Amino acid sequence: MNYYRYDTHVHTKEVSTCGKVQAEEMVRLYNQAGFQGFFVTDHYYNGFVDQFTGSWEEIIDNYLLGYREAKKVGHGFGMDILLGMELRFDGSVADYLVYGFDEGFLYDNPYLNRLNLASFRELIKKEENPILIFQAHPFRKNIPPVQPELLDGIEAFNSHPRHDSYNDKAYALGLSHGLYLSAGSDAHQMQDVGRGGIGLTKRIQSAHEYVNLFILEEPVDLFLRHT
């Protein structure tokens, strides 16, 4: 049986100021690590949006730089590079991994960072294709878990080596509220690559296919590496 590994939480230097690896190199590293692909989940928050003074289209063009470069390079390796985001709302310290949208959603819905979790939930209900919200590393220092009823899932395993994400608590929280569970490396640097992710028995070639895995209750294996 075929087995495909994907990382659900990866940042690029082009967009995330904390990122240390260019998109092209990130693709090569994940290919060498034996992954079929990954989600580019660059930071979408005030600090990114507010640095630009141009049109909203120009802002999103800049936001998509890392994803588009990774997708172009990934095509040459036969890898699946998928679009996600790590969204933080104005006035909040919590981060949310969002999956299931496409580029058009970002262009059509400006300044998502100015919403809150409840209003963002209402916004995505209007979309034709389902969009899922996972709280990222919900027990990391100074980031309290939020109302489970506003979430679809929890990042149960976050393998960032420079933070204690208290994965045992996150996993328990997700199980206790019947939320979807995900795992990711939260990759920012070379040494972060491939530390966590999901294993699937079939490829996913779009964010919508990833979302449907959960909706259709197909098997999703979670894994993380401590060293």
- pLDDT tens string 84-111: 999 999 999 999 999 999 999 999 999 9
Residue 198 sits at the vertex; the CA angle it makes with 192 and 199, to the nearest 5 degrees, is: 125
Q: What is the pTM of this model?
A: 0.95
CB 198 within 8 A of CB 223: yes
Output the average pLDDT for the chain: 95
**Would you state the pLDDT for residue 145?**
73
4-224: CATH, from 3.20.20.140, 3.10.180.10, 1.10.150.20, 3.40.50.2000? 3.20.20.140
Q: Which two tokens stand for residue 207?
A: 């964010």
- pLDDT tens string 127-179: 999 999 999 999 998 887 788 999 999 999 999 989 888 999 999 999 999 99
CB 196 within 8 A of CB 184: yes
CB 181 within 8 A of CB 153: yes
133 forms bridges with which residues in the sheet?
98
**Would you state the pLDDT for residue 35?**
97
CB 67 within 8 A of CB 42: yes
